Amino acid sequence: MNRQLTKSDMKTLSLSSLGGTLEFYDFIIFAIFTPYFTHHFFPADLDENLKLFNTYGAFAAGYLARPLGGIVMAHFGDKFGRKKMFMLSILLMAIPTFTFAIMPTYEQIGWLAIVILLLIRITQGIAIGGELPGAWVFVYEHSPANTKNLFIGVLTCGVCGGILLGNLVTLILQNIFIEDDIKEYAYRIPFLLGGIFGLISVYLRRFLKETPIFKELQANNELHSFPLKDVIKEFKKDISLSVLLTWIMTACVLVMIILMPNFLKSTYNIEPITNTIVQMGGTFMMMVGLVCTGALSDIFHPAQVCKTFAVFLFIFCFLYFYEFYIGKNLTLICVYYLIACFFTGIVNFTAIFMCNLYRPNVLFSGISFSYNLAYAFFGFITPLLLVKFHSNVELGGIFIIGGGAYMCYISILAFINAKIFLKIKKD
């Protein structure tokens, strides 16, 4: 039943989106500033490449911890309430981030600095594993029936805003401080800001209410003792589709927002600040696409909107990668890149479809299990594939052998996923 938006609806959406923004900001700045702080946390006589490898290893540990965090937090979220886990996830992100901002270096406390660094990333990984699935469920169960997809789009837009915020802070620091100062002490500033704002978000989330759907499940004694067991037993097709949907999301974010801007800088010798601005433009266009897919999916059937976006994503990814590798017109590369990034708003259907696949009493577990396992796998393999494709670029048939072929395949997969979703819902 449709109803008017209330102040409570807007408060839930705004606080959930803000928390997601800050949490993903905290997660991403570690990767952005790794080259600036690596030398502080390892022995001075250690090879520089080994220092960087070890630091990125700590960063990767965050991804490996995601499935564990997501599954455990989802289990308790389905048993004891969405709000409790929603509070816990941001707390587990804010405290480690703040700790990193003030922690001593290797020179001051020795190997304990390395241990703390690793624990920080593992804790952040656990937090991020529960945050996005928990936020999707929390907002979906709170939102009016006629705006559920828009609310999901705005929430995911806020999460992408965390990446944009990380880039913006980087840009500001690069303009205020010289590189040596950033390496010496200023690298701590983004983490200090992230920790402080994260703790503020923890406080603000106290004013959110438990979802009405969970309250109803609790009142009717419909909660499961082991939700994940029921998910694996009863929702095999849904899990399979959720994994494919997460693959779409992983590819769009990693290839188009994270990796291709780096290739643009190295291939065309773009100035770092200019390249950061292009990357920020791509992130902003994805955010616009997320809101648009949500709004359109509340008017038309989500599967039809997904199919339409998949077609245009295919077209503009093809044009972008063709121009990147063959045409080499920098203006057209940037134009096609920004348009393609708008259509990567198709990742919104990862959440929209998954929120409609599982029963309410196992919804958190179903989404978190599928999403985190798939993201851990595809998040690991996608960068390796793209680097391999990029280093062996050549024209092949109607496809560009490179990231273009991969993204064109992803577009086709997104179209197929929409058809699979319709079939599962009919069954």
The chain-wide mean pLDDT, for the chain, equals 84
CA separation (Å) from 231 to 71, 78, 187, 189, 247?
12, 12, 43, 43, 20
C-alpha to C-alpha distance for 9 and 329, rounded to whole angstroms: 46
* pLDDT score of 414: 97
Which amino acid, residue 423?
K
Mean pLDDT to the nearest integer, 227-252: 93
Find how far residue 199's CA is from the centre of its chain. Answer: 20
pLDDT, tens only, 137-196: 888 988 888 889 999 999 999 888 888 888 888 888 888 988 889 888 898 999 999 888
pLDDT, tens only, 364-422: 899 999 998 898 888 878 877 777 777 766 544 444 556 788 899 999 999 999 999 99
* pLDDT score of 3: 53
Mean pLDDT to the nearest integer, 110-133: 83
CA separation (Å) from 3 to 12, 159, 322?
16, 26, 47
Confidence class for position 314, pLDDT limits 50, 70, 90: very high
pLDDT, tens only, 33-73: 777 887 777 776 666 656 555 655 655 666 677 788 888 88
* pLDDT score of 353: 97
C-alpha to C-alpha distance for 385 and 198, rounded to whole angstroms: 34
pLDDT, tens only, 83-113: 888 788 888 888 888 898 999 988 888 888 8
Long-range contacts of the stretch 373-378 (C-beta < 8 A, 24+): 373/67, 373/243, 374/242, 374/243, 374/246, 374/247, 374/250, 375/63, 375/66, 375/246, 375/249, 375/250, 376/63, 376/64, 376/66, 376/67, 378/246, 378/247, 378/250, 378/251
Confidence class for position 1, pLDDT limits 50, 70, 90: very low
* pLDDT score of 15: 74
pLDDT, tens only, 275-308: 888 888 999 999 999 999 999 999 999 999 999 9
Q: Of 55, 414, 71, 407, nearest to 253 (Cα)?
A: 407
Three-state helix/strand/coil letters over the chain: CCCCCCHHHHHHHHHHHHHHHHHHHHHHHHHHHHHHHHHHCCCCCCCHHHHHHHHHHHHHHHHHHHHHHHHHHHHHHHHHCHHHHHHHHHHHHHHHHHHHHHCCCHHHHCCHHHHHHHHHHHHHHHHHHHHHHHHHHHHHHHCCHHHHHHHHHHHHHHHHHHHHHHHHHHHHHHHHCCHHHHHHHHCHHHHHHHHHHHHHHHHHHCCCCCCHHHHHHHHCCCCCCCHHHHHHHHCHHHHHHHHHHHHHHHHHHHHHHHHHHHHHHHHHCCCHHHHHHHHHHHHHHHHHHHHHHHHHHCCCCHHHHHHHHHHHHHHHHHHHHHHHHHHCCHHHHHHHHHHHHHHHHHHHHHHHHHHCCCCHHHHHHHHHHHHHHHHHHHHHHHHHHHHHHHHCCEEECCEEECHHHHHHHHHHHHHHHHHHHHHHHHC
